[in-house]
Amino acid sequence: MYEISRLVLGAYQANCYLLGSGAQVLVIDPGAEPELVLSAVGDRRVVGIVATHCHSDHIGAINELVQATGGPVLVGRQDVAAMADPHLSGFDEEGLDYRVSTVDRPLVEGDQVCLGSDTLAVLETPGHTPGSICLLDEANQILFTGDTLFESGIGRTDFVRGNAADMRATLLRLGRLSADLSVLPGHGAPTTIGRERRRNPLLGGAR
């Protein structure tokens, strides 16, 4: 089992997760403050830099991380082009022209992201963006949800390319997962599928 470190980054207080296994580390959603992320990485080998979706607060340190470590960039296939488009990523609203132009591995449903002996399965979970993904570690009962599901909340669909119907279908799907799954979201505190199912009818909970 890997060790999980959480960094809360940038003006939007987005969660970046570092999954460490021996001399290797997998980085999920390095959205800002590249110096802080690189300090946390240390001298470990970055085996992957995963973006759960294309928004600026989740990708804003990727270029610096790639330059420093050479780690490959992974993102859902429907968000690949948006990584390099400041309007679709939201960087234009911040007055920035930041672009992640190279994606090494577009991810699709059922793909596996490996770290040591552990495996995270890719779930395509559109709604917040078309290419939003979650990463499911079934063996260790952990789900990284990006901006799809939060503690007492769900991802917004009023941004560019957001889709409320897709989000409803995605949430019903997540609600069918094990109630014991620990949810590590893109913002805020951890929760569980069971807890959110009880709170939110969109996950198939209380009507």
Whole-prediction pTM: 0.97
- What pLDDT, on a 0 to 100 scale, did the predictor assign at position 204? 87
**pLDDT by residue (tens digit) across 103-130?**
999 999 999 999 999 999 999 999 999 9
Question: Where is average pLDDT lowest: 61-70, 90-99, 169-178, 198-207?
Answer: 198-207
3-203 CATH fold: Metallo-beta-lactamase; Chain A (3.60.15)
Sign of CA dihedral 100, 105, 72, 126: positive
Residue 64 dihedral angles phi and psi, to the nearest 5°: -65, -35
